[in-house]
Amino acid sequence: MKRAYLDCSSGISGDMFLGTLIDAGVPVDKLFAELKKLTLGFYEFKRTRAVRGGLVGTRVEIRVPGDQPHRTLTDILVLIDKASLPTNATGHAMKIFKHLAEVEGKLHNVSPGEVHFHEVGAVDSIIDIVGTCVALDLLEISELICSPLNVGGGRVEAAHGSLPVPAPATAELLKDIPVYSSGVEGELVTPTGAALVANLASSFGPFPSMMIARIGYGAGEKELPGHPNLARILIGESVEGAAAHPGLPGDEVVSIIEASLPGMTPQAYGEFIAQAIAAGALDVSASATQSKTDRPGHLVSVVCDPAKSDELSQFLFEKTAARGLRIYEARRKTSDREAPPEPPPAPDDSVSVIEANVDDMSPQLYGYFLEQALAAGALDVTCTSAQMKKNRPGLTISLICDPARADALSGLIFEQTTTIGLRIFAAKRKVLARERVTVETPYGAVQIKVAKHDGKVMNAAPEFDDCQRLAAQKSVPLKQVIAAAEAAYLKQSGA
């Protein structure tokens, strides 16, 4: 069964919900074909990539020229019925608008049929609601689970004047649904967003057991200081009874702690990662982000046993400049790992080199693309800074592969990056024959990677992981272990 988890830690609106689904890969040609069945006259459906708090997502905007009529519930139900949309999408959309009419009627002391929709009767809200229902149907999502909703705070301007957050209609729609406020000033949950999750989500709570296949981010309208204004949807297959075999690989429940850190130096990060691992973290990683003040920063992620999450959260506050963090549960798959085999020597190897220039791609996408490319058979992947046309900074992605893999890897580049063109040319690659030897040092055994040409040693380098492990075990400087390994190799080889 296909399951989706909607993360509303920055609230939810109709355009954000639809944006997450488009970002997660809904076939937009099919989505637009269904939306064209609605007789709404002229409107512009604009979708762009937007950065919010250093993270990138899909921003959806519906623009309509001129004033719009105030539609009644009957007007909208007839509009949807005549469109001959997929059965599930039709049923869900009608249910949502009926719920909205009941709430508006209750608040204004009129029957649902007498309600004249203002904001939610406009073309953009109709597209957001119907589009979301159609997109869920196209993605064949059987179950939608939603996180508790961050509603924001302060006041919001509406057709009836200034209203407290959450607005009355939103509050009514969110009855019996877990909500909270992180203190952000502004309306984070709109009536349209509240109506969508109230009628489409089967439950509200923590992250469920699932195998994640797709992730999509929907960008909100505003840039909120210190708060990435995005909704996130994670789509995959449900994993029932995963906790029944906690000892098996792939069935490990972990906590993930994330924090945005401005101005963290590489030296400070290196020290932090060593201390975090020593304190019980299973893994620590960092990715570059753009902070709210347009300064470069880092998004640090710590993976740990759930029992250690509170301790490591406090550790993160103490050791870094983090002023807030996010904690969520996930499942980690692990397997027995062996060192990858050394590639066979190929003194005069014919290869294809594929290059593409991009100036609109998130760094997060490159990291994922690199992993996918190597898994798909690329021999090497590199990325260099480039100055693009219009004086914009960009990247040149270079990929080396066997000529037989060039077409498949070209397709992967088009699929996983934002490029619209690439270059492929033939090249010759010369590589040194490689072997590994083991040497004994005062701290323990270290593997040495030896590269030769015509039987002559050209390079020899200690295996970094071995040296790092011994340095930690023996509490000695890493450079001391590396020097000892180099000396042991020279002595053993007679050089």
Stretch(es) of the chain classified as CATH 3.30.70.1380: 243-332, 349-429
Query: Cα(235)–Cα(337) distance, rounded to whole angstroms?
Result: 28
The residues with which 11 forms a beta bridge, in sequence order, are 9
Residue type at position 124: D
CATH architecture of the domain 349-429 equals 2-Layer Sandwich (3.30)
Tell me the pTM. Answer: 0.51
Q: What ranges make up the beta strands (E) of 239-295?
A: 252-262, 283-290
Helix or strand holding residue 257 (H, E): strand 252-262
pLDDT tens by residue, the chain, 495 residues: 799 999 999 999 999 999 999 999 999 999 999 999 999 988 899 999 999 988 899 999 998 887 777 788 999 999 999 999 999 999 999 999 999 999 988 988 898 888 877 655 588 989 999 999 999 999 999 999 999 999 999 988 876 678 899 999 999 999 999 999 988 888 999 999 999 999 999 999 888 888 999 999 999 998 888 889 999 999 999 875 334 334 444 446 777 887 777 666 666 667 777 788 888 888 887 766 654 445 566 777 888 888 888 888 888 777 777 777 777 666 665 555 454 454 444 445 788 889 888 888 887 788 889 889 998 999 999 888 876 666 677 888 999 999 989 989 999 999 999 888 888 888 887 878 888 999 999 999 999 999 888 888 888 899 988 999 999 898 988 889 999 999 999 988 876
pLDDT in tens, 213-246: 999 999 999 888 888 999 999 999 987 533 433 4
283-290, strands of its sheet edge to edge = 283-290, 296-304, 252-262, 326-332
The residues with which 12 forms a beta bridge, in sequence order, are 189
Assign a CATH topology to domain 243-332. Alpha-Beta Plaits (3.30.70)
Distances (CA, A) of 280 to 304, 305, 315: 7, 8, 11
Q: Options 2.40.50.100, 1.10.490.10, 3.40.50.150, 3.10.20.300; which CATH number does 433-493 get?
A: 3.10.20.300
Nearest-5° angle of CA 333, CA 336, CA 337? 105
